[in-house]
Homo-oligomer: A and B are copies of this chain.
């Protein structure tokens, strides 16, 4: 089913209609951070911890950063070999490039598949600083932002917008030099965020994913966040926002497709050439496209 999602197969509408009533119970956890912070190792450690709680786990390694090559590297799967023989774990690298609605439509659909298939937890792992990180945050109930010492200083982290995106911060490779410094910087930064009483206070958890150190604390933080989500009404709000994004992405993709079907490619080239020659402004060009599809 995830292959159908990935390839944006024509059966997808029928498939989604069939499974939509069976989804809605999985806890969706996003894991993101810069390359090299140890996301895959952390994902593997979390899978182990959730399995110890006898929860069924689905893992989606989404790679939105490579629209050209399309698809995550083999490395992800290799690193997850620990769980290869466990029927309570499903692991999948997924490319979203072929999907009409991109990351915003493909990922919630894949999450829905795993949810409906009976996963109690769905872990969505994504490389990224920047837009893809923000999109992952929008897809998850709980977003863990991983950092590690030696990957750039505090100001840089703030610049990348992680403060707003993370529900929980993991400072991984906590046995490396400089980890204390990262924890301290994060503490100072999170302290500066204005909060109302009842707002979530982002915990900072030091971990060494490769040895399992701190993983219990992280699992505990995830569980506390889950409780807060349910009590505050935020869970419902986030899930609605996620479905809204999905619907909107599909609608825009449909309109784009409709335009393409109307010899849109040539028409766009003609319009682009007029703009390049200085004969037409881009807004008027866009207006012609809007008129064509509506």
C-alpha gap A66/B250 in the complex (Å): 24
C-alpha gap A251/B272 in the complex (Å): 13
A53 at the interface (CB under 8 A from B): no
In the complex, which of the residues B155, B252, B276, B280 contacts A252, with contact meaning CB atoms closer than 8 Å?
A: B252
Main secondary structure of the interface of A (DSSP, over half): helix
In the complex, the answer to whether B250 meets A252 with C-beta atoms within 8 Å is: no
C-alpha gap A269/B269 in the complex (Å): 36
A150-191, CB < 8 A from B:
150-153, 155-161, 164-165
Which of A81-89, A128-136, A199-207, A208-216 makes up part of the contact surface? A128-136
C-alpha gap A152/B255 in the complex (Å): 40
A9 to chain B, nearest CB (A): 12
C-alpha gap A68/B166 in the complex (Å): 12
On whether A281 and B17 interact (CB within 8 A), knowing A130-B129, A159-B73, the answer reads yes
A94 at the interface (CB under 8 A from B): no
A193-248, CB < 8 A from B:
239-241, 243-244, 246-248
In the complex, the answer to whether A289 meets B63 with C-beta atoms within 8 Å is: no
A276 to chain B, nearest CB (A): 6
List the number of copies, as a whole number.
2
A285 at the interface (CB under 8 A from B): yes
C-alpha gap A285/B242 in the complex (Å): 14
A271 at the interface (CB under 8 A from B): yes
In the complex, the answer to whether B272 meets A159 with C-beta atoms within 8 Å is: no
Query: Which residues of chain B are near A16, meaning CB under 8 Å?
Result: 281-283
In the complex, the answer to whether B155 meets A286 with C-beta atoms within 8 Å is: no
Chain B, Cβ-Cβ closest to A137: B68
A125-147, CB < 8 A from B:
127-135
On whether A20 and B278 interact (CB within 8 A), knowing A159-B63, A252-B255, the answer reads yes
A254-278, CB < 8 A from B:
254-256, 258-259, 268-269, 271-273, 275-276, 278
In the complex, the answer to whether B13 meets A72 with C-beta atoms within 8 Å is: no
Chain B, Cβ-Cβ closest to A152: B36
On whether A240 and B24 interact (CB within 8 A), knowing A254-B286, A254-B290, the answer reads no
A281 to chain B, nearest CB (A): 4
A64 at the interface (CB under 8 A from B): yes
A32 to chain B, nearest CB (A): 10
In the complex, the answer to whether A133 meets B65 with C-beta atoms within 8 Å is: yes
On whether A65 and B130 interact (CB within 8 A), knowing A16-B282, A247-B272, A250-B283, the answer reads yes
4 closest A-B pairs (Cβ-Cβ)? A36-B152, A21-B278, A35-B156, A250-B286
